[in-house]
Amino acid sequence: MHRLLVAAAIMGLVLSIRVAAAPSSYVAWTTETVALISNADVERGKQLAFGCVACHGAAGLSESPAYPHIAGQDARYLYKQLHDFKDRTRNNPQMNGIAARLSEQEMADIAAYYAALSAPVPDKGGGNPVAENLARRGHGSRMIPACTGCHGSGVKGNAGYYGMPVLAGQKAVYLSIALRLYKAGDRANDVYSVMRAIAGNLTDDEITALGKYYASQDPR
């Protein structure tokens, strides 16, 4: 009996390690994946996107502060998020259900459609020297790298990093929510836990300020 209990405990530990070691995303940026997105059908994506309007707006511009703008967003980022929703490495009950019904081609088509739409107009105000300094320079002693390193100098995305979102012009509240989810570990589809590590070193005031700062930047 003792041996059985020990064996059960060891098996439980192995299973817990496997769960903890699960990938943060199953998207691999192979030549085939990049080609799938690059050659996607925008018109077909427009037809498939009819169900996205309620939350993300008719032109991909959300009216709710809690839902992101997706018009003008990087197609590879949108594809990755849909893929992560589909395999549940990013959890959201509504989006998990929607993405579960989409094929690889359909996700690529929808991503290409929204990427081709006009980017949002930035919010007025939002200037904050603390947030701008974090975005442009980071904070070395607190292990916070400059956001521009991955998201681009104009926070308009970074073509050199696949699946990297455009931050400029995004909803301030949505960005703050996303950072807080990373900080709490409730959003975990960031490869190598990069965003979880960064957000974990930000204060709540800094997160709010960063959301407002990026919302005021022009992505056009």
Q: Residue 205 maps to which CATH number?
A: 1.10.760.10
Give me the domain span that covers residue 172: 129-215
Same domain? 110 vs 150: no
Flag whether 134 is in a domain. yes
Same domain? 144 vs 196: yes
| pLDDT at residue 7 in the model | 39
pLDDT one-digit tens code per residue, 162-215: 888 999 999 999 999 999 999 999 999 999 999 999 999 999 999 999 999 999
Flag whether 89 is in a domain. yes
Find where tokens 């005031």 sit. Answer: 205
Same domain? 107 vs 135: no
Same domain? 67 vs 138: no
Cβ atoms 105, 36 nearer than 8 A: yes
Flag whether 196 is in a domain. yes
CB neighbour class for 129 (10 Å; exposed up to 12, middle 13-18, buried from 19): exposed
Flag whether 24 is in a domain. no
Same domain? 108 vs 164: no
Residues in the chain: 220
Flag whether 4 is in a domain. no
pLDDT one-digit tens code per residue, 142-169: 999 999 889 987 656 676 678 889 999 9
| pLDDT at residue 127 in the model | 76
| pLDDT at residue 155 in the model | 55
Cβ atoms 179, 167 nearer than 8 A: no
What is the mean predicted confidence (pLDDT) over 85-100?
Answer: 95
Same domain? 136 vs 169: yes
SS (H, E, C) the chain: CHHHHHHHHHHHHHHHHHHHCCCCCCCCCCHHHHHHHHCCCHHHHHHHHHHHHHHHCCCCCCCCCCCCCCCCCCHHHHHHHHHHHHCCCCCCHHHHHHHHCCCHHHHHHHHHHHHCCCCCCCCCCCCCHHHHHHHHCCEHHHCECCCHHHHCCCCCCCCCCCCCCCCCCCCHHHHHHHHHHHHHCCCCCCHHHHHHHHHCCCCHHHHHHHHHHHHCCCCC
Q: Count of CB atoms within 10 A of residue 21's CB?
A: 7
| Residue 23 pLDDT exceeds 90 | no
- In the chain, how many domains are there? 2
Same domain? 96 vs 141: no
